[in-house]
Amino acid sequence: MQVTADMRPLDVLADFPAIPSGWAYLDTAATAQKPRPVIDAITRGYGETYATVHRGVYQRSADMTLAYEAARARAAKFLGAGSADEIVFVRGATEGINLVAQSWAVSQLRAGDRILLSQLEHHSNIVPWQLAAERIGAHIDVLPLTEDQRIDLDAMAEMLTSRHRLVALAHVSNVTGSVLDARRAAELAHGVGAKLLLDGCQAVPRMPVDVGALDCDFYVFSGHKLYGPTGVGVLWGRAELLDAMPPWQGGGSMIDKVSFERTTYAPPPGRFEAGTPHIVGALGLHAAIDYVEAIGLDRIDAHEAALVAETRARLSEINSVRLFGPENSAGIVSFGVEGVHPHDIATILDESRVAIRAGHHCAQPLMEALGVEATARASFGVYNSADDVAALVQGVERVTRIFG
């Protein structure tokens, strides 16, 4: 499929002041550039309306508290949550997963219980479970991948047992862009009484997510991959699960009453938000959600799908290029050039003003499964176009000429 300028469904590059003319930014899976409405919301939050939340009785503090909680309600609506109280603000998906691991898993799992992960998980969806498993005496099992590097749900159906209490999977792989059939994963997990946590970092920027329809139990994402600020993210959990979870950090805001004899804790989500929160980060996240929904996540998905299809088609014409992942990957294309280290690919592309990621992408077990040490990765966002695809392909052709 040939993508041309007049076919582009999106034309929003002017909204992103950090992307200069002629620079192809293809590292959105690592972190997205920020549109002007998000930057403006952060600037206003610090420059005009800043105050603490949940504490002050003066008007500005009350107004900021309303704005902060409005961001929580916006995130709940964005995910299809039943209530804003099911939304916990965290520093990012990594903290959200650690929270579930150290609160829900440590309090609910017992020695001999099992946790199921997959070979393509990001380290942030591996290491927290290893820490919890070591503490509890639980065991971790690992799902294999299909030939096109998707999570093998047929294998999941065969591997699950009544000892499995938790399944934690990436909704979209940060390396291959493969999309999980999350509903089927939920049915399989629930069939043996296990809970399902989904890492949605790569899903929420590019496709509609409804946690009710997916029927998962926990969902996490990071704001900075959704065109929002760093240092803020969301953990969604079913109300009854959050209510049964003990706090994992102590401090201000998460308490009901404190004495040296006994402390009681606030109900969720406050129970999990100790200390002064990232107030302005929540405002920026609100603006980011408004931004992507104004464009339309279905449009974003179609836009990125067209760019991925063109990229895979063009790169596949170069004999020395190896492509990873399924043909219909979501916004991400990982590849290698025979005889060339991915760091060298990225360095040469940078000379041509094309920015990609190179390395193991915090997914070393997946690299081992692929039989490589690292890959080059191009990942798309709303600001990318056919021109960026052309610049990438031309840069890769230059790599092959340099290395013969």
pLDDT over threshold 60, residue 75: yes
Give the pLDDT mean for 269-278: 97
pLDDT digits (tens, 9 = 90+) for 382-392: 999 999 999 99
The reported pLDDT for the residue numbered 123 is 98
Same fold, 5-32+296-402 and 39-293: no
Within 10 Å of residue 143's Cβ, how many Cβ atoms?
21
Q: Residue 318: its pLDDT value, please?
A: 97
Radius of gyration of the chain (CA): 22
Residue 2's pLDDT band, with cuts at 50, 70 and 90, is very low
CA distance 19 to 24: 8
The pLDDT of residue 4 is above 60? no
Domain ranges of the chain: 5-32+296-402, 39-293
Of all residues in the chain, the percent with pLDDT exceeding 90 is 97
Residue 401: count other Cβ atoms within 10 Å of its Cβ. 9
Q: For 55-61, what is the mean pLDDT? A: 93
Q: Which residue has tokens 């088609």?
A: 313
The C-alpha atoms of residue 359 and residue 96 are separated, in whole angstroms, by: 25
317-340 residue pLDDT tens? 999 999 999 999 999 999 999 999
Strand partners, 117: 142
Question: In terms of Cα–Cα distance, which of 114, 109, 86 is closest to 189?
Answer: 114
Residue 309, H or E segment: helix 297-316
pLDDT at 8: 45
CATH architecture under which domain 39-293 falls: 3-Layer(aba) Sandwich (3.40)
- pLDDT value for 383: 98
According to the model, what pLDDT value does residue 3 have?
40
Does position 110 have pLDDT exceeding 60, yes or no?
A: yes
Does 201 qualify as catalytic in the annotation?
no
pLDDT score recorded for residue 5: 38
> Residue 201's closest CA among 172, 240, 177?
172
Q: Would you say residue 90 has pLDDT above 90?
A: yes
Sheet containing 233-237, strands listed edge to edge, beginning at the edge strand earlier in sequence: 87-90, 233-237, 218-222, 195-199, 164-170, 114-118, 139-143
Q: What is the 3-state secondary structure (H, E, C) of 91-122?
A: CCHHHHHHHHHHHHHHHHCCCCCEEEEECCCC
Span 5-32+296-402 CATH architecture: Alpha-Beta Complex (3.90)
Mean per-residue pLDDT, 244-259 = 94
- Helix ranges (H only) for 247-379 are 279-295, 297-316, 342-351, 364-370
Classify residue 18 by burial, with Cβ atoms within 10 Å: 0-12, 13-18, 19+. exposed
**Phi, then psi, of 307 in degrees rounded to 5:** -65, -40
pLDDT value of residue 66: 98
Q: Quote helix, strand, coil % in the chain, to nearest 5.
A: 45, 20, 40
Asked if the model's pLDDT at residue 59 lies above 50, the reply is: yes
What percent of the chain stands above pLDDT 70?
Answer: 98
Instruction: Identify whether the C-beta of residue 386 lies closer than 8 Å to the C-beta of residue 8.
Output: yes
Residues 22-36 have a mean pLDDT of 98
How far is 255 from 266, CA to CA, in rounded Å?
5
Predicted local confidence at residue 10, as pLDDT: 84
Q: What is the rounded distance in angstroms from the CA atom of residue 241 to the CA atom of residue 256?
A: 19
> Given this model, what pLDDT does residue 55 score?
86
Average pLDDT over residues 40-57: 96
Tell me, what DSSP letter sits at residue 318?
S
3-state secondary structure of 24: strand
| Catalytic-labelled residue, pool 30, 84, 318, 362 | 362
pLDDT for 350: 98
Read off the pLDDT band of 6 (50, 70, 90): very low
Cβ-based neighbour number of residue 17 at 10 Å: 11
Does the pLDDT of residue 9 top 70, yes or no?
no
pLDDT averaged over every residue in the chain: 96
Q: Name the DSSP class of 231.
A: T
CA angle, corner 382, sides to 40 and 89, nearest 5?
55
SS3 233: strand
Contact between 232 and 68 (Cβ < 8 Å): no
Candidates 325, 334, 310, 318; CA nearest to 403 is 318
CA neighbours closer than 13 Å in the CB half-sphere of residue 396: 27
DSSP state of 259: -
Whether pLDDT at 232 is above 80? yes
Q: Are strands 321-324 and 332-337 parallel, antiparallel or unpaired?
A: antiparallel
